Chain A
Amino acid sequence: MENLDQTIKACQQGNALAWEALIKAYQGKVFGVAFYMLKDKSEDAAQEVFIKLYRNLGQFHSSAQSFLPWLLTIARNCCLDRLRKSKTKMKYESDAEVEPETIADGIESPEEGTVEEQRKELLYQAIDKFDQTNKDILLLKDIQGLKTEDVAAVLEMPTGTIKSRSNRAKIKLAKALSNFSQFKIKASGN
């Protein structure tokens, strides 16, 4: 988003148009986080994220570069709060390490929807097999594209750990998904 600094300042002064533009620019990412962590009821969570953002926007005084990490932190915390209140807590907050050979086990190859939708469904199923820290790292670094330093600050972990864990998780995922035809089709296309 261009002029993010000025847009945020306008929002802090109560400018409704600026607030609308800010929602429009970041609603997709907030929805992406909510769906990644909650799957269903992601719209309710996304609404709650923006309401919290609006109430706390007056406290944001950093540069525009740190706005996305800040917003994604709010979104992640909001989703974690919802998970803690629900029964799906254990599914996301699992600590079990997975091996590349076992990731593909139990994943059902989807037969409905377009090839793109099938690939997304497979990817979500495979990511669900990881422990929470790896899920968080994949979400913030590899999906949302945050810098390693920002991810380290959000998760309160060393940058080296973030980098190595991200690489390992991606290699495991890549190897597991290469067994599915939905991913082979695209590979041969490349």
Chain B
Amino acid sequence: MNCEKFKTVIKEFIAGELSETEHEHCGNHIAECESCLTLWSALVESELDHSIKLKAGFSQSILQDVGLDACQQSEAMLCDYLELKLDPLQTELLKNHLQDCENCQATQVSLQILDAELGALAEISPSPNFIKLVLAQTLEVEPAESILKRLTGIDFQALFVQLMRRPRFPIEAAFAATVLWTSFFGVPTGIVFSAQADALPLVSPEVVQERIEDFQSNVNAGMDSIPVVVSEQFQNFSTASRSFLEDRRDASQQNRIALRESITNWYSNSIFNFSVDD
């Protein structure tokens, strides 16, 4: 048998469909011809692969008949398989499935690529001056709370929040403000006393009576000598009025000072006595 003849019957030879004599001739030919032996080996391997694929398809059809989906279960396990988180039995079963299932093999490869690609998104290079910008914005303005905390060792932020949450905080704040005010500026009743001091009689009744009599006599005299003496009388009246007002202002000032001194003395003594007693 020559090579040409062998090639025409090679498929039947592999399938075992030749007669016994022809089969023996073909066997003797590939024992002597190396090129035909190579061709025969390649065809036999491809036939074997084909038979394996048929077998895999067969198992899939059986699984479908009984209502199971091996690919769905495989997909659910693939991520853990790639992260080596499966136990030995599950790993073995999945490997067995992957050997025969082209779809799951493709998904496995895609997942491996995806893992690498997702990892590449984790970090993005910023602009070269990014660090300088952040340093300029953070180190120039140091947070006040951290300085205070570092110097005093007290967390003022937490303390403030705790203080604000006290139920009686407004009352306590008002009391503290009152104590501070009275310590620095005294009892605010000084305004009332000053007003009362202004209202007190500032000149004696005798002086007032004398002024009135002077005014009346001046007016009478003026009426007698109108119009010759009127300007002179008016001038006298103005002088008397101005004198009256000056006297009143001096007295008012003196009374106010005296009153304030007495109140201050009283208040100082009170605080002193209170402190000693307490």
Q: Name A residues whose Cβ lies closer than 8 Å to a Cβ of B.
A: 12-14, 16, 19-20, 23-24, 27-29, 31-32, 35-36, 42-43, 46-47, 50-51, 54-55, 58, 116, 119-120, 123-124, 138, 142-145, 166-167, 170-171, 173-175, 177-178, 183, 186-187, 190
Q: With A43-B126, A120-B121 known to touch, is A16 a contact of B135 (CB < 8 Å)?
A: yes
The answer to whether B134 touches A51 (Cβ under 8 A) is yes
Q: In the complex, what distance in Å separates the CA atom of A123 from the CA atom of B117?
A: 8
The answer to whether B113 touches A190 (Cβ under 8 A) is yes
Would you mind naming 20 contact pairs between A and B with Cβ atoms under 8 Å apart?
Answer: A14-B150, A28-B123, A29-B122, A29-B123, A46-B130, A51-B137, A58-B145, A58-B149, A119-B117, A143-B118, A145-B119, A145-B122, A166-B79, A167-B78, A170-B111, A171-B75, A177-B110, A177-B113, A178-B106, A178-B110
6 new A-B contacts, CB < 8 A, other than A58-B143, A143-B118, A178-B110, are A27-B131, A31-B123, A32-B121, A187-B109, A187-B113, A190-B109
Nearest A residue to B138, CB-CB: A54
B90 to chain A, nearest CB (A): 14
Q: In the complex, what distance in Å separates the CA atom of A167 from the CA atom of B82?
A: 11
The answer to whether A20 touches B137 (Cβ under 8 A) is no
- CB interface residues, B 116-170, toward A, < 8 Å: 117-127, 130-131, 133-135, 137-139, 142-143, 145-146, 149-150
Main SS of chain A's interface residues?
helix
Contacting residues, chain A, for B114 (C-beta < 8 A): 170, 173-174, 177
Nearest B residue to A119, CB-CB: B117
How many pairs of A and B residues are in contact by the CB < 8 Å rule? 116
The listed residue (A14, A24, A171) touching B146 by CB distance below 8 A is A14
The answer to whether A43 touches B127 (Cβ under 8 A) is yes
Q: Mark B85-101, 1 if CB is under 8 A from A, else 0.
A: 00000000000000000
A144 to chain B, nearest CB (A): 5
Contacting residues, chain B, for A42 (C-beta < 8 A): 124
The answer to whether A47 touches B134 (Cβ under 8 A) is yes
Q: How many residues of B contact A (CB 8 A)?
A: 39
Q: With A19-B139, A143-B118 known to touch, is A50 a contact of B134 (CB < 8 Å)?
A: yes
Q: In the complex, what distance in Å separates the CA atom of A162 from the CA atom of B133?
A: 37
A7 to chain B, nearest CB (A): 15
Q: Mark B262-273, 1 if CB is under 8 A from A, else 0.
A: 000000000000
The answer to whether A28 touches B125 (Cβ under 8 A) is yes
The answer to whether A43 touches B130 (Cβ under 8 A) is yes
The answer to whether A175 touches B118 (Cβ under 8 A) is no
A53 to chain B, nearest CB (A): 9
Nearest B residue to A12, CB-CB: B146
The answer to whether A123 touches B118 (Cβ under 8 A) is yes
